[in-house]
Structure 1
Amino acid sequence: MTETIVTAVVGILTSVGGYFVGRRKRQNDFLSELQGSIDMLSAKNAKLLEDIVELRMQNAELLASVASLKLQNESLKKEISELNARLEELKTMTTK
């Protein structure tokens, strides 16, 4: 009879111990997966931040180029206007 009780108690204790060990392992596995996800997202975030910095630099360069092209365009418009005025003067001089 005591053997049966001891066997039952040992079985119960083994089951309870196995449950807690398994539960802890599942929690550790879950935490490991979460840490892996955090590390992956951290790396992606760092890469995206690098890309943002690079794109901002390119944007600044493009804005400077646009400003320079606007100045050149205005200068060329003025030159064209002056050349057209001179051309008109020459036309009127040759038609007289």
Structure 2
Amino acid sequence: MAGHPVAKTVAEAKVSAVDTDVALTGRFVKKINDGSFLFSDGTGELLVHVMGAELDPSLMTADVDLTGMVVQDFMYTEVRAESVSVHN
């Protein structure tokens, strides 16, 4: 999809419209509950929902690449992750 906006930082994601694609690199700061994590990339923090599988513990201590989509939850901007992998 040429021209489709992609947020590349947490700061961009926070001001992006719902359904905007994201491609972020950063760290999980802490686990909120099953499937929900606080994520930071140095430009800010936001809540990330990881669908399906339990997150590999190694991903909690490494820089990660995360792709997904902005979703709105009440007053907060959140991201639904489609893939999470260790950043190379």
TM-score band w.r.t. shorter chain = under 0.3
TM-score relative to the length of structure 1: 0.12
Bigger radius of gyration: 1
Indicate the structure with greater strand content. 2
Q: TM-score, normalised by structure 2?
A: 0.13
